[in-house]
Amino acid sequence: MVECPVCGAEIEVGELELHQIIECPVCGVELEVVGLDPVVLEEVPEVEEDWGE
Amino acid sequence: MIKAAVVGASGYIGGELVRLLAMHPEVEITAITSRRYAGKKVHKVHPNLRGLNLRFTNDYNFDADVIFLAVPHGESMKIIDEFLGSAKIIDLSADFRVSLDLYTKYYGEHVKPELIDEFVYGLPEIHREEIKKAELIANPGCNATAVILALYPLKGEVSEAIVDLKVSSSAGGRRENVASIHPERSHVVRVYKAFHHRHEAEVIQETNVKAQFTVHSVDLVRGLLATIYFKMETSEKELYKKFFRYLKEPFIRIVKEKGGIQRLPDPKYVIGSNFVDIGFAYDEENQRVMLFSALDNLIKGGAGQAVQNMNIAFGLDETLGLNYLPVYPI
């Protein structure tokens, strides 16, 4: 079990690979696996609607 | 089968009730009433209901297990004696939603004050257990439903909030009004009530939050969006935890995305359904919480919620006859 860094929900994860993208089943945010031992997840950055203008 | 009657079926909410009840697998509509259109077929008033073999009547002597009162505010309390004791009553007017004190402050004189306490406030997500046993149910207002459901997870932690509401034309009912004719109504973003909107009373009663509504008419036929602002020291993660209480609610969807077309609630994506979409944002620098709540005012804000209440009060699956996904695009 890993905690979602965005919503705090406990997520059940299987075998992970570095830089794999997973989705939090509770808040739906996409998370990147940035560490494996221990598992570290980071929110995947999204393009803003105004393209950063 | 549950025999259902709709009193005041010529308005938009009444028409939606007839539509939803006609498709409900456990309901038989036994009467739809209208003084103005008595004798006319239902599609003469609600063209979308062509094909239903129903005519309006002005005779209240009908056979029903549940009676929906879809009459204007102030009318239910005048006619309710005709129906008391004969069936479960679900009142869609504002007459029995709030305590006498709040009613008097926001609406004025009440002619049936002794009945107010016998009604259950029909917001299933908060009063489900009481609704199961209820004979008299007061269906919440559309704006109030959106605001209460957004604020309720934070009850006790917020005392005041500013509420910006953007509402569609159908929320104003079907009465002729020069402000609603097409040249006046189209393309508006019109503040029609800067403060003291009547639905504030329901929010105060259900959440203890002194909410100040500023209501805008916008260029939509259906739907509304409530944006609620208040200061609070918290975090996005803490807010998520508060809203987790809704994860098992069949008609509440938490909408909070970082990408895609829809990132926070928008009435465009709930139209035609009984869903209320709720989302939030937190400005950490200014410690300001923003809640967003969108619903179809005629369904979750009216007829759909009334059918949901009926399902609960009759021991049916709460979602029966309401399992429609929103219409898209509109």
Residue ranges and CATH numbers for the domains of chain A are: 2-43 (2.20.28.160)
Q: Tell me if residue A28 falls in helix, strand or coil.
A: coil
Q: Is B94 among the residues known to form the active site?
A: no
A28 in reach of chain B (CB within 8 A) = yes
Confidence of residue B77 (pLDDT cuts 50, 70, 90): very high
- Of the candidates A8, A43, A46, which has its C-beta nearest B240's C-beta? A8
pLDDT, tens only, B251-269: 999 999 887 788 999 999 9
By CA distance, what is A10's nearest residue in B? B241
By CA distance, what is A25's nearest residue in B? B247
For A12, A48, B102, B150, B290, the CA distances from B293, given in Å and listed in that order, are 30, 22, 24, 6, 10
Of these residues, B9, B22, B32, B142, which one is catalytic?
B142
Q: Is B77 exposed, middle or buried (0-12, 13-18, 19+ CB in 10 A)?
A: buried
To the nearest 5 percent, what fractions of chain B are helix, strand and coil? 35, 25, 45
Instruction: DSSP letter for B55, please.
Output: B
> How many beta-carbon pairs under 8 angstroms link A with B?
30
Instruction: State residue A53's pLDDT score.
Output: 54
Instruction: State residue B260's pLDDT score.
Output: 79
Q: What is the rounded distance in angstroms from the CA atom of residue B151 to the CA atom of residue B125? A: 12
Name which of B118, B131, B110 is nearest B201 in CA terms. Answer: B110
How high does pLDDT run on average in chain B?
95
Instruction: State residue A47's pLDDT score.
Output: 63
Q: What is the ipTM of this complex?
A: 0.71
pTM for the model stands at 0.93
Beta strands of B34-159 (E only): which ranges?
56-57, 66-69, 88-91, 120-121, 136-138
pLDDT, tens only, B8-24: 999 999 999 999 999 99
Instruction: State residue A14's pLDDT score.
Output: 87
A42 in reach of chain B (CB within 8 A) = no
Instruction: State residue B269's pLDDT score.
Output: 97
Distance from CA of B282 to the nearest CA of A (A): 12
Instruction: State residue B259's pLDDT score.
Output: 77
A32 in reach of chain B (CB within 8 A) = no
Evaluate if residue A28 carries a pLDDT over 90.
Answer: no
- Token couple for B142: 């559309």
Q: Do B240 and A46 touch (CB under 8 A)?
A: no
Distance from CA of B252 to the nearest CA of A (A): 14
Q: Give the DSSP H/E element, type plus range, for residue B185.
A: helix B182-185
pLDDT, tens only, B152-175: 999 999 999 999 999 998 877 666
Chain B residues inside the 8 Å CB shell of A28 = 256-257
Q: Do A6 and B236 touch (CB under 8 A)?
A: yes
By CA distance, what is B238's nearest residue in A? A7
Q: What mean pLDDT comes out for the span A11-30?
A: 90
Q: What mean pLDDT comes out for the span B296-312?
A: 97
Evaluate if residue A41 carries a pLDDT over 90.
Answer: yes
pLDDT, tens only, B52-66: 999 999 999 999 999
β-sheet bridge partners, residue A35? A40
Per the listing, tokens 């029909």 go with B122
Q: What is the rounded distance in angstroms from the CA atom of residue A28 to the CA atom of residue B32? A: 44
Q: Do B256 and A26 touch (CB under 8 A)?
A: no
Q: Do B237 and A7 touch (CB under 8 A)?
A: yes
B261: Cβ–Cβ under 8 A, 6 or more apart, which residues?
A: none
Q: Do A9 and B236 touch (CB under 8 A)?
A: no
